[in-house]
Amino acid sequence: MFRNVAELVALAEKDSIKIAEVMIRQEVEVSGRSREEVIAQMDHHLAVMERAVERGLEGVVSRSGLTGGDAVRMQRYIEGGRFLSGETILDAVSKAMATNEVNAAMGVICATPTAGAAGVVPGTLFAVKEKLRPTRMEMIEFLFTAGAFGYIVANNASISGAAGGCQAEVGSAAGMAAAALVELAGGTPAQAAEAMAIALKNMLGLVCDPVAGLVEVPCVKRNAMGAANAMIAADMALAGIKSRIPCDEVIEAMYRIGAAMPVALKETAQGGLAATPTGRAIAARIFGASAASK
Amino acid sequence: MKYKSVFDIIGPVMVGPSSSHTAGAVRIGLVARKLFGRKPTWARISFYGSFAETYRGHGTDVAIVAGLLGFDTFDERLPNALEIAQAEGVDVTFSAEEAIPHHPNTARLRIGDDEGELELVGISIGGGKIEIVELNGFALKLSGHHPALLIMHNDRYGTIGAVASVLAKQKINIGHMEVSRKEKGKEALMAIEVDQPLTDDLIQELEQLPNIIQVAKLAD
């Protein structure tokens, strides 16, 4: 059993195995299920993620009408070829939004680690698919690697916006994705941990302030930026750049920041963007004036 | 460790938008359905706290009814649950309550048909995890960190022992157990937390035991 990132990396290095393999072995041990069953379940979750992105790229609209269509808009922009950043990173942004738009429209998604942050991990995976040409098993391993880092955050800090703000949701997801990207690209376990640290460091302090309490504004665009953050953090780690603050201490810092964050900024729709004039007007339109005044 | 499985992190597979306000709500409805044992013909659903404030936007209302219809968190019929309930003759009403609940995401369900009624209070604690805190007037104190069984049964000698024997035979260890009853010899409730996963076969075996009325499982 690993309890923190240092132990996870040490376990992988000791046996010269991937972080994904450490997570698979632990899951088999803890669940009492066979290796085949555990891998088959992750394969199923991967298939759910694929379908969600496909559906989002066909175009969806939420019940409130607040979100939908931006994933498609970004794909058209990429096809135009006149983008400023890069095709792979914008594809990750588009596919992250696709998943969250489907989530907002009451479609089927796989929470990673939560429903509100479900876009980042699949968005980055499907964006690098064309460049890295992973096998099905390597894509499944990507999810186990992401899961291993998320498991540490969930047990040592939080993955809940109500407990830790958006840094705990999209921040955790960005760190998980960055680490998994590094391993998929052939980086070492230590580099995966550096990528997680770099991604999460840049999400620290991010509040959870959903307009009208809905998992839509700004959640869809926060997933877009979480995906972009993960891609850059992975590239930085693969370039040999290290985080001066070790990954476990970044996670600890995230926990402390979450605990110090005011309740109004932790998924209560009382502060931040939710409390702006436009945010309140949207809430009033959806729920009636009484709910918006609270 | 609060989270034991990688599938707590890469999962659950669910209909959006919120693991707590949608997936958790489905699971509360589903526990009520399993304990009632059949489709109810009516349901009175009261929301408290954050559920009362935002249930329409998150589809919490739709999600609870989906659970009552027996749909799981990933069932694609979920968004149409209210229409399906109406078509199937289930009369559903909702109310948003002013009372301040102990937990922000609380729902009270009263469901029934010509033959009986059931009342249950559920809370959604995050990431799709739920706890049932009250059942037919019995207060429950489950940690929510382990798989659990809720067993409505007749208050007769040997019933508790029979349930424990079935669990022992399957090498399932009981970590915490509560037994309560309204009156001697009448309806009683066992709430049992265990350390190992609970299979559907096990639930069926428990349902076959004498004096067992209904069995429902709560996954951790």
From chain B, pick out residues whose CB is under 8 angstroms from the CB of A115.
Answer: 14, 16-19, 22-23
Q: CB–CB of A96/A123 below 8 Å?
A: yes
Task: Give the per-residue pLDDT at A294.
Answer: 42
Inform me whether the pLDDT recorded for A177 exceeds 80. yes
CB pairs under 8 A between A and B: 146
Binary contact (A215, B58; C-beta < 8 A): yes
pLDDT interval class at A283 (50, 70, 90): very high
Task: Over range A123-135, report the average pLDDT.
Answer: 97
Task: Over range B151-172, report the average pLDDT.
Answer: 94
Residue A208 lies in a domain: yes
In tens, the pLDDT along A219-257 reads 999 999 999 999 999 999 999 999 999 999 999 999 999
Binary contact (A109, B13; C-beta < 8 A): yes
Mean residue pLDDT across chain A: 95
One DSSP character per residue, B112-129 reads EETTEEEEEEEEEEETTE
Q: What is the ipTM of this complex?
A: 0.96
Inform me whether the pLDDT recorded for A203 exceeds 60. yes
Task: Give the per-residue pLDDT at B182.
Answer: 80
Inform me whether the pLDDT recorded for A141 exceeds 80. yes
| C-alpha dist (Å) from residue B7 to A39, A159, B200 | 11, 14, 19
Phi-psi region of A109 (alpha: psi -120 to 50; beta: other; left: phi over 0): beta
d(CA A203, CA A232): 13
Instruction: Respond yes or no on whether the N-terminal peptide bond of residue A113 is cis (omega within 30° of 0).
Output: yes
- Which residue has better confidence, A290 or A101? A101
Q: Of chain A residues 237-276, which have a CB less than 8 A from chain B?
A: 268-269
CATH number at residue A185: 1.10.4100
Inform me whether the pLDDT recorded for B131 exceeds 90. no
d(CA B116, CA A219): 43
B96 Cβ contact list (under 8 Å, min separation 6): B46, B47, B52, B53, B55
What is the domain count for chain A?
A: 1
Q: Of chain A residues 97-136, which have a CB less than 8 A from chain B?
A: 102-116, 118, 121
Longest CA pairwise span in chain A (Å): 60
pLDDT interval class at B2 (50, 70, 90): confident
Task: Give the per-residue pLDDT at B99.
Answer: 87
d(CA A196, CA A175): 4
In tens, the pLDDT along A32-90 reads 899 999 999 999 999 999 999 999 999 999 988 999 999 999 999 999 999 999 999 99
Q: How would you write A241-293 as a 3-class SS string?
A: CCCCCCHHHHHHHHHHHHHHCCHHHECCCCCHHHHCHHHHHHHHHHHCHHHHC
Task: Give the per-residue pLDDT at B4.
Answer: 85
Query: Which chain A residue shows the shortest CA-CA distance from B22?
Result: A106
Task: Give the per-residue pLDDT at B1.
Answer: 72
What's B7-136's CATH class? alpha beta
Task: Over range A187-205, report the average pLDDT.
Answer: 98
Among A32, A112, A115, the residue with its CB nearest the CB of B10 is: A112
- Which residue has better confidence, B110 or B199? B110
Binary contact (B126, A269; C-beta < 8 A): no
Task: Give the per-residue pLDDT at B54.
Answer: 78
Task: Give the per-residue pLDDT at B141.
Answer: 78
Burial of A131 (0-12, 13-18, 19+ CB in 10 A): exposed
pLDDT interval class at B144 (50, 70, 90): low
On the CB side of A210, CA atoms within 13 Å amount to: 27
Inform me whether the pLDDT recorded for A23 exceeds 60. yes
Task: Give the per-residue pLDDT at A291.
Answer: 45
Task: Give the per-residue pLDDT at A293.
Answer: 43
Q: At what angle do helices A19-31 and A136-156 cross, to 10 degrees?
A: 70
* Domain spans of chain B, in order of start: 7-136, 144-220
One DSSP character per residue, B78-142 reads GGGHHHHHHHTT-EEEEEE--SPPSSSEEEEEEEEETTEEEEEEEEEEETTEEEEEEETTEE---
In tens, the pLDDT along B104-113 reads 789 999 999 9
Lowest-confidence region among A127-141, A190-204, A255-269: A255-269
Binary contact (A111, B22; C-beta < 8 A): no
Lookup result for tokens 């702006």: A276
Inform me whether the pLDDT recorded for B220 exceeds 60. no
Binary contact (A114, B19; C-beta < 8 A): yes
Task: Over range B156-174, report the average pLDDT.
Answer: 95
d(CA A30, CA A74): 42
d(CA A224, CA A45): 21
pTM for the whole thing?
A: 0.87
% of chain A exceeding 90 in pLDDT: 89
Task: Over range B130-157, report the average pLDDT.
Answer: 87
Inform me whether the pLDDT recorded for A156 exceeds 90. yes
CATH of domain B144-220: 3.30.70.260
d(CA B112, CA B107): 16
Inform me whether the pLDDT recorded for A132 exceeds 90. yes
Burial of A146 (0-12, 13-18, 19+ CB in 10 A): buried
Residue A294 lies in a domain: no
Query: Which chain A residue shows the shortest CA-CA distance from B56?
Result: A287
Q: Of chain B residues 32-71, which have a CB less than 8 A from chain A?
A: 50, 53-54, 56-59, 62
For chain A, say whether B18 makes contact (Cβ under 8 Å). yes
In tens, the pLDDT along B179-188 reads 988 888 888 9
Q: Note down the domain range covering A280.
A: 5-286
Task: Give the per-residue pLDDT at A292.
Answer: 42
From chain B, pick out residues whose CB is under 8 angstroms from the CB of A107.
Answer: 15-16
Q: What are phi and psi of B50, to 5 degrees?
A: -60, -35
d(CA B31, CA B35): 6
Please give the structure tokens belonging to residue B210: 């004498």
In tens, the pLDDT along B39-88 reads 999 999 999 988 887 788 788 999 999 999 999 999 999 999 999 999 99
